[in-house]
Every structure is written in structure tokens, then in C-alpha cells.
Structure 1
Amino acid sequence: MSSPTASAHVVHAAIAPAQVLVDERRALYRLAAGLFAPGAQLSDNLLDHPIARYEIGRALAGGGELDLALVRRAAAVRVRDAGLPVVADPLAAELVEAPLRIVAPPGASPEPLTEADGERFEAALDVVAGGVRLLRRLVPEAADDLLAHVSMLVVLTRETSGGVVSASSRYVPGIVLIDEPSTPLEVAEALVHEGAHEKFFDLAITREFLDVRAEEAEEFENSWSHARWPLEQTFAAWHAYSCLAQFAQSCGDEQPGPSSLLPVARERADEIGRWLLSHSGDLRPDARWLLGALTGQPAGTEPAARGRDLPMAHHVTFRALPDVRSERAGTGRTVVGRPASPPEIFWLDADASRVLDLLGDGRSLCFRDLLRDSGWAAEPAAAHRLTVALRLLMAASIIEPT
């Protein structure tokens, strides 16, 4: 596989700049929180907090009600600034229990290094700060691109980490855990690796990356450990190795440590990338585009949707279902939810968003009225655009004919 010429941060921005992704992610979490706690006012800072996002995600997955008291208590965990917020609170182990438990290797019980550890914590904080500075010096644009998705960092005590070098989890997005570091390069590498995962988590919930087909897709078996990974984990690993491979080219005389993945990142990215290219039919359009852009290889096309071109009777009247809730991001994209068990959440394209706006406030409109009020009537494909939008909204049970 030929080495790609496009930088990862440029490719990412072509899908959506980092701040756009962050804004849309907040819109989704704000909507989700409102489904469980109507009227709840959560600030952007609270919506960015990993434990808030974990609790909202747990509720979305059918894990019970949203515990706003826990969310606010977790947000009070004291952090120190090392270029990124680093957990410093001696009470952190209880309040960040979820990510510690999720990433723990079998038999290990990782514990955070905090201010209670005195000079040891201060020394680790200095290394972390040096790692953040090194990353920003070596690859400033990539650092901005990836660190925008990292809300918090936890340093694990070396004797309890169980060998975890660095870790993150889609179940607790925004938090990165690293083993007690020895050098700034260890920190910089960990932030590229886990920052790439955090970027992927935000892409996956706001763009067209994976759908239910991913759960049934063939698994990938890597050649270095023979571990088998489901499609989502495979794509996330490929994306992280691709970012690490590009970072390795910028490290100059910096010497990676014995646990570093930088020397093998390109080889592994290429191996996984070849497999993904041969299984691109299981990916959604944005994932295929990212795969093609970072590998320099064509990644297939979206299978043609069936039924969207069927004509629609112009006298049919539509209305939005009364329990539909929506949140518009600053970009203009709309995320919609319905309070089911678990709740259902959908991102709408611009056309479907426009149609839903027209059906707001309990209005019922027929196809002709929607076509007239959409502002598309003078366009040759207006009826087709409206038909596609209506069918998408009906398939998602957001609107219904009356």
C-alpha cells in the first residue's frame, strides 16, 4: 500500500473541523439529557465531562435513569492544568470508577495518581506537561485536531496499572488514561493514540460511519497477536495506527521507548487498511471516504438506496409525531430523538431538517404545501429531494402520514 500524502488532520477537517464535531457532539448529548431530564440545563463544560457523557450514554443504552446529581458531583473533581486537565483529586478513584474498571486488565485494579501522592504526582504532572508541549511543537496542527476531543487525563500508578500503557473507551468518551510516564515522548505518543480514538468516537456519533451491519460483519484477525476484533474496533485501530504512523515521521531524533508503537505503526496501519478496503461494503459513506483518503486507495461506493425514488401522492398530509424532540447544532445540522426504551436518536441532513422545521408546532402539511414552503419549488429535482426527505423521516418514525 502506498504511503498516503494527505495529513490526517486535513482529512479529518474535510469531514468536519474539530470544533464543528465538538459542537455537534454537545448538541447530541444536550438532546439526550433532555429526553431523560426535561428542562435540565447542562453547560458546554458539563456536556464535555467524560462522566457526564458516560452517564448519558448509559441511560441511552437502557441502563436506567440519568443521575444528574452524580454528573454534577463528578464535575467537581479537582484537576490540574498540564496543557490538558489532569485529574488531581484524591477522591477521583470513586468518581472516575467507570473508566478505571472498563480499561482494567484481568486481575488489575488501576488507581489514579493524585495530589495525595505528593512529589510523585508533581513529577508526573511535569512529564505530562512536557509531553503536551512536545506534541504541540512537533505537530501543532495535528495536536489541535486531536486534543480538541480529549477532555481529561488520568495518570495511573505504575504498580496498579496492570501494564496499561494508555487507554480510552467509547463508553467513557473524552477521558484518556496513561501509565505513570517516564518521558515526554511517551505522553505525546499516548495522546496521539488515544486522541485518535476520541476523534473517532465523535465522528462515529455525528457522521455516517457504522450502522447495525457492523455488529454482524466479519471480524479481523491481526498478524502480531492473532486477536480478533469486531469491525468498529478494527476501524478504530486502523485510524489510531494511521495517526501514529504520521506522527512517527515528525519525531526526528526523539527516541521511542521499549513499549512504543511508533516503529510498527505504519506496518500495522497498512495491514488493517488492506483488510478494511476489502470489507468496505460494511462501512457507511463517511467511514469509506476517510479510509480511502488516508490509504490513498479507492474504498468503494455506497450501495444504491431502494425505494427512495418511488413517487409520492401529492395529496398525502404529514405531521411530526408529538413525542419527537430535536436539537440544532451551531452548524445547522439537527439531531432528533424520541423517548423510547432505549431512546432513538437520528442525525438529519439539511433537507430532512428543513421538512421537520416546516412540520413544527403541530402543523400538518401535504406534499404540495411542503414543496411550496421548502423554497425548492423552482429547482428541477425539488420533488425528488422532498420525497427522499419524507421517506427518511417516516422510516425513522419521526413523521407520519395523516
Structure 2
Amino acid sequence: MSIERFQIHVPDSVLEDLKYRLDHVRWPDLLEDSDWERGSDRGYLQKLITYWRDQFDWRAREAVLNRLSQFRCNMDGVDVHFVHERGKGPKPLPLILTHGWPDSYLRYEKIIPMLTDPARYGGNPEDSFDVIVPSVPGFGFSNGLTRAGVNNAYVAELWAKLMTEHLGYSKFAAAGGDIGSGVTRYLAFHHPELLTGIHLTDIGIIRSLLAVQDKTGLTEEELLYIRNTSQWIADEGGYMSIQSTRPQTLAYGLTDSPVGLAAWIIEKFRAWSDCKGDLRHSFSEDELLTNIMIYWVTNTAGSSSNIYYENTHTLPPLGYIEVPTGVAVFPGDVALPPREWAERNLNITSWNTMPRGGHFTAMEDPESLAKDIREFFRSSRV
């Protein structure tokens, strides 16, 4: 199938069904003085659900998202949705941005114009990009996924095909965080000839480092990473264990209950962002609900979880990455990577610790991330 233009239009029946469900919520009983330590706080969640039911305007958000140049393309039997915005500069560099979970392509909504039209934001038009933001298969409008084996490496192969065969770019840049970091690294490992460089906001959970038995040769930073990340997995990693082992069981609840879906997602936005315990510090209710709606209206709460299962059971090993790599470390993120390990496993040519921001960097602090991306890729433009 050739590339086709795409516009979002959720049927009225889907919105009416959602309203019915939000009108008929059955809330769980809680222990006295329960806050966020056992999961999503009921007081906050009830206020968010009331706003969702009575004030949130999906049609208005749908219209805003439809201002983006969106497309769909079938590759290997997988329908891939993507944004493709052309740069406003003398020679825009193609850049593919990959999101993670539990966000969506919405992660990059704010940063797209900062990269396509830097002059509008006080930057240099020579730093402009053609920006491509796909929805990972099984997420959002890349829905209808029924095949197994869709892991980070598989998605990287799709992106290579999308950029070269369908969009006609012979050379391009790539960036991402969370699952997007993994996809970007597999793209660089298997197709270094296609990439001018890659930019990452994290390096994922470094399982090989956590598994090291003889730690005598490790640096202090690496030992600190092992301690901190092991504790983080013990405290926060329940979602990962479930999605890596029984995503189908989880899917029934998240697919049937919009409140359950919201609770599952907002807990992560609070814990992984730099919001200092107050979601409003980093995100508006409309931002949070638009992201949740993308999962709800596309029925992808279950299929998006499957990539955790695939990455655990089918992902091939990753070797040294020779492509020039830039890393922006945000202090509010989780599992902050040790630089020494990164330099042994990737061709690190830029490493910057940012003043603020967390896991959802492009949503929380788009200006500083856009600046770091522009500066990193400046030297790789030809």
C-alpha cells in the first residue's frame, strides 16, 4: 500500500460509550490515609475523571492534532501511522523520533515546530529538520497489530524501510527515549550506513550491567547505578514484570475500564517525570487525557504492552554502536545511565546533563531538548 494521508476522526459512538463508562465508575475501597505509595491516588484520580467526563473536549484536541501532517503506510502487513513535517530551512536534515510507553507520538507534539522551524524560536534556520514521528506498531493509530515478534529490533527495521523506501531519504538522523531509545539504538547498530548520528534521552535498563557477578572492575558510578536501579525495579518495576510476562491478562482490564487505563498511565507520568510529586507542575489535565485518549479510542492498551513481552523473550543482543551518539541526561528521569558504561558501548560524542526535566522530556522541557538536538546534529549535516 502506498502512503496515504491520515486524519483522526473518532466515531461518536466511541465517545458516547466512553461517557457512559465514566458515568458508571465503581471505585475500590482504600486503606485510611492512602496516598500514592500503593498506586494512583484516588483523590487525584477522581478529580481527573470528573474533568474528563465534564470538561475535557476531545474534538478540540482532535482538531489540533489534525493540524499535523499525518499519514499511514502498510509495511510487512503492519499499518504504521506517522507525522511528517517538512523543515523550514535551506537544507533540512531528516530526523525520525521514536516515543515509548506509556506515552505516544504525542510526546513530540511540542518539539516538532522547534525542530522544523528553529528560526521561529530564536534559532538558526540552518538547523532545521524534516521531522518524522511514527507511532510504534501496536500504539495509537498504528493499531490492529496481531502478529508476534514486534520488538525493538523489528521496529527499527520498519523505520529503515519507512525512511528509505517510502520517504526517499538515503541518510537521516534518529532520536528517542524509553522504547524509542531501544529502537534508535537497534537502528544504528544494524544500519549505521543510513545514519548521520543518534540522540538519546536514556539508555534504558542496562540488564547486562545489573547481571554482573564480579563487580571488582566496575567504577563507582556503575556500582551506584546497580544499587539505584535495582532498588527502582524493586519499588517501581511491577508494571514491567506484568507487561513482560502476562500482557494479555492485563489487557482485559485496561481495555474495558477507562479509569483503570488512566490509573495505570498517570502513575508513571507522576513517578517518572520531574513534577516533584505534583502532576500539574509538568502536565496539564488536557495533555494527560489526550495521551490516555489515544490509547482508549484506538483500543491499544493491550497491544502496546506486548512490546515488553517481545523485548524480554525475542530481542536479539545489541553490540557496540559506532554511529556518533549524543546523550541528554535529565535529572528527574529514572535509571540515569553511567557515562563510563555508555562510552564503552556507544560512540559517545556528546554528553550533556540538563538542568531539569524527567522521562517525558519533550513534553516537560521541549526547549532545552530541542536545543540539545539541534546542537548535536549541527556537525553531522552534509
TM-score, structure 2 as length reference: 0.23
TM-score, structure 1 as length reference: 0.22
Q: Which has the larger radius of gyration?
A: 1
